[in-house]
Amino acid sequence: METTLVSTFHKWLTSNAHAPKLGGALAEEASSILAHRDFPNTRMEEWKYTRTQKLAQGDWKLTSGEINSDPEFELHQETAGTLGQTYFAQVNAALCSGSWGITIPQNEQIDEPFQWVIKTHGDQAWVQPRIVVRANANSQSKFVFHFEGKDHSFCNGVIQIEVADNARVEVDIIQDNADAHFQILEVNVEQGKNSHCNVVTHTLDGAWVRNNLHMTLNGEGSHAGLAGFYLPHAQQFVDNHTVVDHRVPHCTSNELYKGVMYDHSKAVFNGKVFVRRDAQKTEAYQSNKNIMMSDHAVIDTKPELEIYADDVRCSHGSTTGQFDEEALFYLRARGLSAEGAKQLLVSAYVKEVIDRSQNETVVNYVKKALSQRGRIIADEI
Amino acid sequence: MEILDEITGKEYEFGFTTNIESDKIPAGLNEDIIRIISKKKEEPEWLLEWRLEAFRIWEKMQEPAWAHVQYEKPDFQAISYYSAPKSKPKLNSLDELDPELRKTMDRLGISMDEQKRLNGIAVDFVMDSVSVATSFKEKLGELGIIFCSISEAIREHGDLVKQYLGTVVPRTDNFYAALNSAVFTDGSFCYIPKGVRCPMELSTYFRINEAGTGQFERTLLIADEESYVSYLEGCTAPQRDENQLHAAVVELVALEKAEIKYSTVQNWYPGDKDGKGGVFNFVTKRGLCAGYKSKISWTQVETGSAVTWKYPSCVLKGDYSVGEFYSVAVTNHHQQADTGTKMIHIGNHTHSTIISKGISAGNSNNSYRGLVQINPSAHHARNFSQCDSLLMTDTSGAHTFPYIEVNNSSAQVEHEATTSKIGEDQIFYCLQRGLDEEQAISMIVNGYAKEVLNKLPMEFAVEAQKLLAISLEGSVG
The whole-angstrom distance between B66's CA and the closest CA on chain A is 8
Indicate if the pLDDT at residue A258 is higher than 90.
yes
Q: Between A292, A300, A312, which is nearest B419 by CB?
A: A312
Q: Between A292, A311, A314, which is nearest B418 by CB?
A: A314
So what's the pLDDT on residue B128?
56
| Three-state SS at B9 | coil
The answer on A346 and A302 residing in a single domain is no
Domain termination residue (choose one: A273, A296, A322): A322
Residues on chain A touching B400 (C-beta within 8 angstroms): 303-305, 316
The answer on A353 and A257 residing in a single domain is no
- Are B419 and A322 inside 8 Å of each other by CB? no
The whole-angstrom distance between B21's CA and the closest CA on chain A is 46
Residues on chain A touching B420 (C-beta within 8 angstroms): 312-314
Q: Between B392, B404, B418, which is nearest A302 by CB?
A: B404
Residues on chain A touching B411 (C-beta within 8 angstroms): 292, 320-321
What pLDDT, in 10s, does the model give residues A177-210? 987 899 999 999 999 999 999 999 999 998 999 9
- Given CA atoms B474, B475, B476, B477 in this order, what sign does their dihedral have? positive
Residues on chain B touching A298 (C-beta within 8 angstroms): 405-407
The answer on A127 and A45 residing in a single domain is yes
For residue A363, give its domain range: 323-381
Q: What is each CA distance from B288 to B256, B342, B368, B385, in whole angstroms?
A: 11, 12, 22, 20
The full DSSP string for A149-199 is E-SS-EEEEEEEEEE-TT-EEEEEEEEEE-TT-EEEEEEEEEE-TT-EEEE
Q: Write down how long chain B is.
A: 477
The answer on A341 and A374 residing in a single domain is yes
What are the sequence ranges of the domains in chain B? 2-472
State how far the Cα of B257 lies from the Cα of B295, in Å rounded to an integer.
7
The whole-angstrom distance between A94's CA and the closest CA on chain B is 30
H or E stretch at A333: helix A325-333
Q: Report residue B281: phi and psi, to 5°.
A: -110, 95
Burial class (CB in 10 A: 0-12, 13-18, 19+), B112: buried
The answer on A336 and A300 residing in a single domain is no
Helices B458-472 and B437-453 pack at an angle, to 10 degrees, of 140
3-state helix, strand, coil in chain B (%, to 5): 25, 35, 40
Nearest to B198 by CA among B131, B262, B149: B262
- Are B376 and A295 inside 8 Å of each other by CB? yes
With CA atoms as reference, the chain A residue closest to B65 would be: A45
Residues on chain A touching B418 (C-beta within 8 angstroms): 313-315
Cis ω on the peptide bond leading into residue A71 (within 30° of 0)? yes
Q: Using CA atoms in the order A90, A93, A96, A99, what is the torsion angle rounded to 10 degrees?
A: 130
**Any CB–CB contact under 8 A between B396 and chain A?**
yes
With CA atoms as reference, the chain A residue closest to B402 would be: A302
Other beta carbons within 10 Å of B26: 9
State how far the Cα of B4 lies from the Cα of A375, in Å rounded to an integer.
59
Nearest to B400 by CA among A18, A314, A57, A122: A314
State how far the Cα of A338 lies from the Cα of A325, in Å rounded to an integer.
11
- Given CA atoms A364, A366, A368, A371 in this order, what sign does their dihedral have? negative
| Three-state SS at B157 | coil
State how far the Cα of B255 lies from the Cα of B192, in Å rounded to an integer.
10
SS3 letters for A6-65?
Answer: HHHHHHHHHHCCCCCCCCHHHHHHHHHHHCCCCCCCCCCHHHCCCCCHHHHHCCCEECCC
- Are B417 and A316 inside 8 Å of each other by CB? yes
Residues on chain A touching B421 (C-beta within 8 angstroms): 310-312
DSSP state of B475: -
Residues on chain B touching A312 (C-beta within 8 angstroms): 391, 419-421
The whole-angstrom distance between A320's CA and the closest CA on chain B is 5
**Residues near B236 by beta carbon (within 8 Å), at least 6 away in sequence:** B14, B108, B206, B207, B267, B268, B269, B304
Query: Counting one residue from A and one from B, how many pairs have CB atoms under 8 Å apart?
Result: 117
**Any CB–CB contact under 8 A between B408 and chain A?**
yes
Residues on chain A touching B68 (C-beta within 8 angstroms): 306
User: Which residue has better confidence, B305 or A135?
Assistant: A135
Band of pLDDT at residue A33, cut at 50, 70 and 90: confident
Give the best residue of B66, B375, B387, B404 to mutate against chain A (max A CB count within 10 A).
B404
| Three-state SS at B215 | strand
- Are B406 and A303 inside 8 Å of each other by CB? no
Other beta carbons within 10 Å of A327: 14
The answer on A340 and A298 residing in a single domain is no
Are A284 and A248 spatial neighbours (Cβ–Cβ below 8 Å)?
Answer: no
The answer on A345 and A306 residing in a single domain is no
Domain termination residue (choose one: A304, A322, A340): A322
Q: How far apart are the first and last CA of chain B?
A: 6
**Residues near B5 by beta carbon (within 8 Å), at least 6 away in sequence:** none
Residues on chain A touching B370 (C-beta within 8 angstroms): none
What pLDDT, in 10s, does the model give residues A13-27? 454 444 445 556 778
**B421: which strand partners?**
B391
Other beta carbons within 10 Å of B395: 15
Q: Using CA atoms in the order A273, B66, A309, B71, what is the torsion angle rounded to 10 degrees?
A: -170
- Are A321 and B405 inside 8 Å of each other by CB? no
Number of structural domains in chain A: 2
Are B110 and B123 spatial neighbours (Cβ–Cβ below 8 Å)?
Answer: yes
| Beta-strand relationship, B83-85 and B22-24 | antiparallel
Residues on chain B touching A45 (C-beta within 8 angstroms): 66
The answer on A287 and A370 residing in a single domain is no
What pLDDT, in 10s, does the model give residues A209-237? 999 999 999 999 999 999 999 999 999 99
**B360: which strand partners?**
B331, B391
The answer on A304 and A191 residing in a single domain is yes
The whole-angstrom distance between A295's CA and the closest CA on chain B is 5
The answer on A350 and A288 residing in a single domain is no
The answer on A343 and A242 residing in a single domain is no
State how far the Cα of A58 lies from the Cα of A207, in Å rounded to an integer.
15
The answer on A268 and A367 residing in a single domain is no
Q: What is the separation of C-alpha B162 from the centre of its chain, rounded to a whole number of angstroms?
A: 23
Each residue's pLDDT expressed in tens, for chain B with a length of 477 residues: 344 344 444 556 666 666 666 667 778 888 888 898 888 888 899 999 999 999 999 999 988 888 888 888 888 888 888 776 654 444 444 555 556 656 665 655 554 444 443 434 556 666 655 555 566 677 788 889 998 888 888 988 989 999 999 999 999 999 999 999 998 888 889 999 999 998 888 877 777 666 667 778 899 999 999 999 998 887 766 666 777 888 899 999 999 999 999 988 888 888 877 878 888 889 999 999 999 999 999 999 888 888 999 999 999 999 999 999 999 998 888 899 999 999 999 999 999 999 999 988 888 999 999 999 999 999 999 999 999 998 888 888 999 999 999 999 899 999 988 888 888 888 899 999 998 887 888 788 888 888 888 888 776 777 777 777 666 655 554
Domain termination residue (choose one: A322, A342, A365): A322
So what's the pLDDT on residue B297?
94
Within chain A, strands assigned E span 61-62, 66-70, 98-104, 114-120, 125-127, 129-135, 140-149, 154-163, 168-177, 182-191, 196-205, 208-217, 223-230, 237-246, 252-261, 266-275, 283-292, 298-307, 313-321
**Any CB–CB contact under 8 A between B380 and chain A?**
no
State how far the Cα of A146 lies from the Cα of A156, in Å rounded to an integer.
14
So what's the pLDDT on residue B20?
63
Q: Write down how long chain A is.
A: 381
- Are B393 and A310 inside 8 Å of each other by CB? yes
Q: Between A299, A305, A308, which is nearest B406 by CB?
A: A299
Band of pLDDT at residue A100, cut at 50, 70 and 90: confident
Helices B45-59 and B175-183 pack at an angle, to 10 degrees, of 150
- Are B400 and A304 inside 8 Å of each other by CB? yes
With CA atoms as reference, the chain B residue closest to A275 would be: B397
Nearest to A251 by CA among A270, A232, A227, A225: A225
| Three-state SS at B377 | coil
Nearest to A226 by CA among A253, A192, A195: A253
Nearest to B249 by CA among B329, B324, B170: B170
Nearest to B250 by CA among B292, B311, B194, B304: B311
State how far the Cα of A359 lies from the Cα of A348, in Å rounded to an integer.
19
Exposure string for A215-239, b = 16+ CB within 10 A, e = fewer: bbbbbbbbbbbbbbbbbbbeebbbb
The whole-angstrom distance between B283's CA and the closest CA on chain A is 22
Residues on chain A touching B403 (C-beta within 8 angstroms): 300, 302
**B322: which strand partners?**
B295, B351
Q: Report residue A132: phi and psi, to 5°.
A: -120, 120
